[in-house]
Amino acid sequence: MIITLTPNPSIDATLELDSLARGGVCRVSSAHREAGGKGINVAHAVAKAGEQSLALAPAGADDPFLTLARAAGIPVTTTPITGVVRTNTTLTEPDGTTTKINEPGPELSRAESRALVTSLESNVAETKADAVVLAGSLPSGVPEDWYAELVAAARDSRGEAIIAVDTSDAALIALGRTLDADPRAPLPTVLKPNAFELGQLTGRDGVALEESAERGDFGEIVVAARSLTALGVKEVLVTLGGAGACLVTGDGAWGATPPPIAVRSTVGAGDSSLAGYVMSRVRGSSHQDSLRTAVAYGSAAASLPGTGIPSPTDLDIPNTHVFPVT
C-alpha cells in the first residue's frame, strides 16, 4: 500500500492553445479538468499501475474535486474542511511551452489541520503502508515547518515505511532548516527536488544547477545532493526535466537520460517520476532500476496532454539510460 497526503489539492484545468498572446484573444484547441495536486497524481499513477494506493486530502463532501477524483478511479479519503479546493490553470503551447497559474487554496483551521494529521497517522497504521508520499504546497493556516510534523506522523511504529517528500519554496526551505538544526528530527527516506528546489535546500544557485544538467554535467547536482545525504536522508531523487534525473544515496550516485518524446505537457511529470520511483523501491528494485523507472514515468507523462498520468504500457524502459556519476 502506498499512501499519499496532499495538503493543498487542486482541480487542474489544462488549456491547449495554438498560441499565447498576452492581452489578446487566445483560442483553445482542447481543455481538460482533472483532480490534481502532487500526492493525488502519485496515487493516480500507482492505481493505474494496478498497485494499492490511497490519497489523503482536505476537501468538503460536495467539492467538485472529489467528483473528478472518483471519476478518474483515484482512491481518496478526505478530511472535511469548510473551504473549497483551488483550481490551477495550465496553458500549453504547441512547442511544449507551459504556463501555470496556481490559486492559493483554502485556509485550514487548527482543528482541520489536526484532523488531517490524525487521518495520516491512523491510515498509515491501519494499512501498514509500505510507503507514504507527502507532497505539494502547504495551505494557508499551517506553519511553514509543517512538513516536519507530517514526516513524524507518517513514521509508523515498525519504522519500515518509505517516506518521500516533494515540496518547494518556503515549505521546503523550512524542512531543510529543521533537518539541519535538529539531528533528532524524523527524516524522510526520499527527498525529490528539481534542480531549482535542490538549490533552495542547499543554498546553491538552482538555475546554474539546472543549466549544468542540461549540458550533461550532473557533477554539481551530486555535490549538492550529498549535503542532504550527509544529514541522514537516504535517497535524493533530483528530477531535471528534459535532461532526465539524478539519484544520490549514501552508497552512490547515478544519472539517467530520458527516451525521445514529443512534449505535450510537463504538468504532473515530476509527480509521475516520484510514483515510478516509489513503486519500484517498494517492489525491492535496485536504486539504478528505480531511477530508470522514474525517468521513464516522467517522460511518458510529459508526452501526454493535461495532467497526463501514464500507465505501465506507456513507458519506454529500454530507451531510458542510467549511468554512474562520480
Is 169 one of the catalytic residues? Answer: no
Residue 224 corresponds to which cell in the numbers above?
549538492
Active-site entry in 169, 271, 289, 314: 271
Residue 136 corresponds to which cell in the numbers above?
505539494
What is the CA angle 225-230-236, rounded to 5? 35
**The 3-state secondary structure of 247-297, one letter per residue:** EEECCCEEEEECCCCCCCCCCCHHHHHHHHHHHHHHCCCCHHHHHHHHHHH
DSSP 132-165: EEEESPPPBTS-TTHHHHHHHHH--TTS-SEEEE
Q: Residue 158 and residue 168: Cα distance in Å, rounded?
A: 29
Residue 77 corresponds to which cell in the numbers above?
479519503
AA identity, residue 222: V
> SS3 of 236, please?
strand
Q: In what order do the strands lie in the sheet with 245-249?
A: 76-79, 53-58, 2-5, 131-135, 162-166, 190-191, 235-239, 245-249, 253-257, 321-324
Which residue, 192, 163, 151, is CA-closest to 274?
192
> SS3 of 234, please?
coil
If one counts every other C-beta atom within 10 angstroms of the C-beta of residue 240, the result is: 26
Note the helical H segments in the chain.
38-48, 64-71, 110-127, 146-154, 169-181, 195-202, 206-214, 219-229, 269-282, 287-302
Catalytic residues: 271
